[in-house]
Amino acid sequence: MTDPGSDRPAYRQVADRLRAPIESGEWPAGYRLPSESQLMEQFSVSRVTVRLAVNALRSEGLIVTRQGRGSFVRDRSASRRVSSTRYQQDTEYAAGRVSEPAVRFGDGVDDHGRYRLERSLREERASQQIAELLNLSIGEPVLQRRYVHIVDDRPEEINTSYLPMDLVRDTPVADPAHEPWPGGTIAQLAALGHHVTRVTEWVRARMPRPDEVRTLGVSAGVPVLVITRRMFAGGDLTRPVEAAVDIVLPADRVVLDYIMDLDI
C-alpha cells in the first residue's frame, strides 16, 4: 500500500519500495521483478503508477526491460579496472624491456579471441579544441583516429585521438592496416623516435550522446566517463605528441584505479 498522505507521489513510493531490495542485494542481478499486474495488486495502485515507478528505476540504471519478458535487475558490477599504471606496461614494451606487451587492452584483457578493434583513420584540419590540446595552429593537418574496443563481442570503449600530421605522415602509424599495434600509442610513437615521458589525463562524467548509446549499448540512466588525455615526448612539455579528446567508457562497467606514490 502507498501512503495517500505522503508528499511523495504514489509512483515514487512504489519506486522506493522496489529500489530497496535491489540496493540491499536481496534482489540480485538478473532477478525478474513482479509483473505489472502483481505490482498493481501489491501496492493497490493503477497501471500508470506502476509504469511510472518502473520507468524511474530504469532511468536510474537499476533495471532493464526486455520486450515480452519483463523487467530485470541490472548487473552493475564493474567488468573492467582502468589503472593509472596501465601506460607503464606499454612503456616497458616500447623500451624493449619485455618481448611483448603484457596485455592487449590496457587493463588486463588478454588476446585469446576476446578482443577486437574497429578503427577509422583520416586526415583532417585541427579545430580550435584540437589545436589548443596539441599546441598547434587552427587548421594544421592532424590524423584523427577513432577506435571502438570490443571485448567478448561487447563494445567497451570509444577512443577518439589526434596526432600532428607532421609526425606520422607516410609512416606505418598512419596506416590502419597496422592496427591494433602492439604496445599501443606509446609503442607507435617510440617507433618514430618519440619516447613518451609524460601522460596527463582529466576525467569527467556526462550522459551519453545518442551515437554513444548505440555504439556502446549503454542502458537508460547510465552516464559515461570521459577521459581527455595528452602525451608528451622527451623533455618538451610545450607541445604534446598526441591528444585523446574523448575516451568514452560506460560508467557502470569500469573502475578508475589510481595509485599516487608520495615522497615524504
At which of 53, 73, 93 does a domain end?
73
Do 55 and 171 fall within a single domain?
A: no
pLDDT, one tens digit per residue, over 16-59 is 999 999 999 999 989 999 999 999 999 999 999 999 999 999 88
Among 135, 143, 147, smallest CA distance to 167 is for: 143
Beta strands in 108-214 (DSSP E): 115-125, 141-151, 154-164, 196-206
**Total domains present in the chain:** 2
Among 176, 184, 190, smallest CA distance to 105 is for: 184
Do 111 and 27 fall within a single domain?
A: no
Does residue 68 lie within any of the structural domains? yes
Q: Residue 248 — φ and ψ, nearest 5°? A: -105, 125
Is the pLDDT assigned to residue 102 strictly greater than 60? Answer: no
Give, in order, the Cα–Cα distances in Å from 129 to each of 136, 227, 228.
10, 15, 12
Task: Count Cβ atoms within 10 A of the Cβ of residue 113 and give its class: 0-12 exposed, 13-18 middle, 19 or more buried.
Answer: exposed
Q: Using alpha carbons only, give the angle 92, 200, 259 rounded to the nearest 5 degrees.
A: 65
Beta strands in the chain (DSSP E): 63-66, 70-73, 80-83, 115-125, 141-151, 154-164, 196-206, 224-233, 242-250, 254-257
CATH number for 214: 3.40.1410.10
- Range of 130's domain? 80-257
pLDDT, one tens digit per residue, over 185-195 is 999 999 999 99
What local confidence, expressed as pLDDT, does residue 108 receive?
47
Mean pLDDT over residues 86-113, rounded?
Answer: 67
Does residue 262 lie within any of the structural domains? no
Alpha carbons 23 and 62: distance in angstroms, whole number: 9
Q: Is the overall model pTM greater than 0.85, yes or no?
A: no
Grid cell for residue 179: 592496427
Does residue 36 lie within any of the structural domains? yes
CB 66 within 8 A of CB 78: no
Do 111 and 219 fall within a single domain?
A: yes
Looking up cell 607516410, which residue turns up? Answer: 170
Is the pLDDT assigned to residue 231 strictly greater than 60? Answer: yes
Q: What is the mean pLDDT of the chain?
A: 88
Do 112 and 32 fall within a single domain?
A: no
Alpha carbons 106 and 110: distance in angstroms, whole number: 9
Mean pLDDT over residues 82-100, rounded?
Answer: 79
Estimate the crossing angle of helix 47-59 against helix 36-43, to 10 degrees: 110
CB 136 within 8 A of CB 220: no
Q: Which residues pair with 255 in a beta bridge?
A: 81
Mean pLDDT over residues 113-142, rounded?
Answer: 93
Do 140 and 218 fall within a single domain?
A: yes
What local confidence, expressed as pLDDT, does residue 153 receive?
84
Do 40 and 127 fall within a single domain?
A: no
Range scoring the smallest mean pLDDT among 31-40, 69-78, 127-136, 182-191: 69-78
Do 67 and 179 fall within a single domain?
A: no
Mean pLDDT over residues 208-228, rounded?
Answer: 90
Do 86 and 193 fall within a single domain?
A: yes
Range scoring the smallest mean pLDDT among 154-163, 174-183, 208-217: 174-183
What local confidence, expressed as pLDDT, does residue 165 receive?
97
Alpha carbons 27 and 252: distance in angstroms, whole number: 18
Run of H or E residues at 114: none
